[in-house]
Structure 1
Amino acid sequence: MDRNSVTWRGYIPAITTPFDAELRFDEKMLEDLLLWLQGEGMHGIVLAGTTGEWFSLTADERTALFRKAGSVLGGKLPLLAGCNAFTPNESIGYARAAKEHGFDGILLTPPPYVVPTDDEIVAFYRTVNDAIDLPICVYNWPPGTGVDLSLDVLKRIVALDKVVAVKNSTGDMGRFIECFFGLKDQVRYYGVPTNEFGASLYTHHAADGMIGSGAVLGRDHPAFFDCLDRGQLDEALACGEKDRILMTDWFTAGYRPRFGTVQALMKEALNAQGLPGGYPRPPVLPIADEGKKAIRDTLSRLGRSV
Structure 2
Amino acid sequence: MDRNSVDWRGYMPAITTTFTRDGDYDARGHAELLEWLYAEGMHGIVALGTTGEWFSLQPTEKAAVFQNIAATLKGKIPLIAGCTGYTASEVGANMAAAAEAGFDGVLITPPPYICLSDAEILEFYREAAKQTKLPICIYNWPPGTNIDLSLPLIEKLIEIDNVVALKHSTSRLDHFSKVFFAIRDRVRVFGFNMDELGLTLLAHQGGDGTMGAGAVLGRDHPNFYNEIWNGNLEAARECGARDRVILTEWYTEHLTARFGSPQAILKEAFNVMGLPGGYPRRPILPLQDSEREIVRATLEKLGKI
Name the TM-score, length of structure 2 as normaliser: 0.99
> Aligned equivalents of 2:211 and 2:264: distance in 1?
19
3-state secondary structure, aligned to 2:171: coil
Match of 2:54 in 1: 54
Counterpart amino acid of 1:187? V
- Return the offset for 1:140: 0.4
Matches within 5 A, 1:130-279: 130-279=130-279
| CA root-mean-square deviation | 0.7
* Counterpart amino acid of residue 127 in structure 1: E
More deviation, 191-200/9-18:
191-200
Amino acid at match of 2:6: V
CA shift, 1:197, in A, is 1.9
How many positions carry a matched residue from both structures? Answer: 305
SS of the counterpart of 1:131? coil
Deviation at 1:196, TM superposition (A): 2.2
Unaligned 5+ segments in structure 1 are none
Letter in 1 for 2:65: L
Q: Which whole-Å CA distance do the structure 2 matches of 1:56 and 1:165 have between them? A: 26
Give the drift of 1:219: 0.5
After TM superposition, which residue ranges in structure 1, 4 or more long, deviate above 2 angstroms?
none
Q: Distance in 2 between matches of 1:168 and 1:294?
A: 29
CA distance in 2, matches of 1:291, 1:162: 42
Return the offset for 1:21: 1.7
Match of 1:14 in 2: 14
Paired AA for residue 119 in structure 2: D
Mapped to 2, the partners of 1:176 and 1:298 lie a distance apart of: 28
Match of 2:292 in 1: 292
Partner of 1:42: 42
Partner residue of 2:114? 114
Amino acid corresponding to residue 244 of structure 2 in structure 1: R
Other structure's SS at 1:77 match? coil
1:99 paired to 2:99: yes
Amino acid in the other structure paired with 1:193: N
d(CA) in 2 for partners of 1:116, 1:301: 43
**1:31 to 2:31 alignment:** yes
CA–CA distance in 1 between the matches of 2:196 and 2:235? 11
Q: Secondary structure at the match of 2:130?
A: helix
SS in 2 for 1:167: strand
Measured in 1, the distance between the counterparts of 2:61 and 2:142 equals 26
CA displacement at 1:138 relative to structure 2: 0.5
In 1, Cα distance between the equivalents of 2:130 and 2:183?
Answer: 21
Q: Distance in 2 between matches of 1:171 and 1:33?
A: 29
Deviation sequence 1:153-212 (CA, Å, 0-9, x none): 000100001100000111111111011011101100011121222111111111001000
Q: Runs of 5+ in structure 2 lacking a partner?
A: none
Cα distance, 1:290 vs structure 2: 1.3
- Distance between the aligned counterparts of 1:94 and 1:131, measured in 2? 10
Amino acid at match of 2:286: P
CA distance in 1, matches of 2:122, 2:22: 40
